[in-house]
Amino acid sequence: MFWKFNPIVEVTTGQTMISALIHWTFYLDKSHRWQWRKFDKGKVVAVSGDGFDRKTACVLNAVQRGYVLPPAISNPEAFSETKK
């Protein structure tokens, strides 16, 4: 099961606008533990390293490393804990 968030980051520098696609993927590994990966321009740039029993704990770990919750989800407890 994957949960993915793709914010498009736009930076304006003078007359030039730069767009970079950064996304985070949250998934269950083979041991049924939650993990995350951060992608920048299609390349993995960071991984959780550890598996988490709860998706909320995984998301909170990602927040500590720069993940920003979407505005509609201000509470990480709102994430579903079900394993599909």
Does this model's pTM top 0.85? My answer is no
Q: Which residue has the higher pLDDT, 34 or 4?
A: 34
- 83: in domain: no
pLDDT at position 18 over 60: no
Q: Report the alpha-carbon distance of residue 19 to residue 51 in Å, rounded.
A: 31
pLDDT at position 12 over 50: no
Domain count, the chain: 1
Q: What CA–CA distances, in Å, run from 33 to 29, 50, 76?
A: 5, 9, 17
pLDDT in tens, 45-84: 999 998 999 999 999 999 999 998 877 655 656 555 554 4
- 74: in domain: yes
- Full residue range of the structural domain in which residue 14 is found: 2-78
- 51: in domain: yes
